[in-house]
Structure 1
């Protein structure tokens, strides 16, 4: 089995590469930044928005994990080129190559202005898009493109509304939004075989989380990690989080604050 991983040189790609390695599996790594492939890996340099380059990168591929694009807020033209045009070009190349399974790495910023539900329940898996940035808008378009290529062409697509993926949560907000690299790898594996179209929250089963895991569990995700072992140290350093503060009350956290202006 050959999996194309775009954006392989980035933080998430670096975390996932060793965790997705399997006997009989080849990871075809793609990015604009050159890197040295390891055992069981191949390397291609490709601009996501270049149809010829993506068609070449897609040759002989069985599934796609799409991590590539602008990972932070940028001017609109940059976001459109990398994240919107790039995703469309990638999906078109996958369709023409006959790829059946695609996992798109979306973001919680696609729903950033959603707040904690008043009823104490989790924010639903398919919460209506409420993007907090141009970057968030691009992830909404990613979800829409995935839906289109599923409905029109029968491609199996899973979009992960990724939370915070690091070796551990970096602050008290992360106690709710964190997903471990091992859990993210498990969620990606589930998406690589899941039939249909799905939007799932990318978060570990943290006691403080407020994003639903029902859809992720439905496609086979089993979270084995929790942010709670980090809680005492983070709270000692930063204090108990104020859940009425937009940083903790809104899915997009600090990226929803007006004073950030165009910088985000």
Structure 2
């Protein structure tokens, strides 16, 4: 094991790419797609939602016969960052749909069940271990890494080199597809009156966003050069419900998050980048690329009538100089 900071050392404040960063555990009762049971605070903002979500409402959407979820039973997927918020919720849904899982993180992972979820502790810097783990898998969902701003050297090692190892291990193992958890923070420096699409130049709002831009570039390279299918999700603010002015535009509901990942797993596209964000009335990101891969979100932050003005640019407080400088090592 490496002695570098684990994914648990970063502060998960805007949980677009929650991934084993020791985020608050969830106990939600959210059903994304029947018949199965279906993080991102503003920095330094007290969050009353810490703790269990066991009283959350249940949302049920009955799938049509050609629902993509009906095509994934019996296949095997590896999930990195499996102990994080999204990892736990997604694995629960995938197991309910009959997907065989290999769940890995840098910390202990609790299995969803005792039959189809093999759990293991592994480091993203161990290419040999990843290659062996990926053998026989149909795909990899890469959630692992540091999930917020940190010292650049740590981000480069964990998020950039770690993502390279995931892609290279997938190539060596003959994996068909890697689904990469990117972040909306790759374009956080655009103004809030700009509708950003996935083909526009990256304008990251910090070093964390830079690490995700590098991850997306690696995905593009492996698709173009090595014929590995890669689908990158620029994840919005993953919350049970929106609670800040920024989240009126960036909110990603739990059930829409599940739908985004299933779309990424099942699309016919060889390579794609899209924003995983709910169908919010206030929108900063074009959802056309998501529609092309079959992602059709259902929830809208406007239903919560959140007051207040947003902070420029789109990254809001994450885009301030202090948010990066305070996390640098001397």
TM-score by length of 1: 0.90
Q: Does 1:178 align with 2:241?
A: no
Q: C-alpha distance in 2, partners of 1:261/1:95?
A: 34
1:260 is aligned to: 323
2:122 is aligned to: 46
1:145 is aligned to: 218
Q: Secondary structure at the match of 1:184?
A: helix
Q: CA deviation at 1:22?
A: 3.8
Contact 1:46 1:57 in 2 (8 A): no
Q: CA 1:173/1:43 → structure 2, altered by over 3 Å: closer, same or farther?
A: same
Q: Secondary structure at the match of 1:192?
A: helix
Alignment of 1:89-168 (within 5 A): 89-117=165-193, 122-168=195-241
Q: C-alpha distance in 2, partners of 1:150/1:51?
A: 19
2:42 is aligned to: none
Q: What residue ranges of structure 2 are gaps of 5+ in the alignment?
A: 1-74
Q: C-alpha distance in 2, partners of 1:188/1:261?
A: 29
Q: CA deviation at 1:261?
A: 4.9
Q: CA 1:258/1:38 → structure 2, altered by over 3 Å: closer, same or farther?
A: closer
Alignment of 1:1-264 (within 5 A): 1-39=75-113, 40-117=116-193, 122-194=195-267, 195-231=269-305, 234-235=306-307, 240-242=308-310, 245-246=311-312, 250-263=313-326
Q: What residue ranges of structure 1 are gaps of 5+ in the alignment?
A: none
Divergent runs of 4+, >6 A: none
Q: Secondary structure at the match of 1:130?
A: coil
Q: C-alpha distance in 1, partners of 2:107/2:141?
A: 17
Between structures 1 and 2, the one with greater helix share:
1
Q: CA deviation at 1:88?
A: 0.3
TM-score by length of 2: 0.72
Q: C-alpha distance in 2, partners of 1:241/1:88?
A: 39
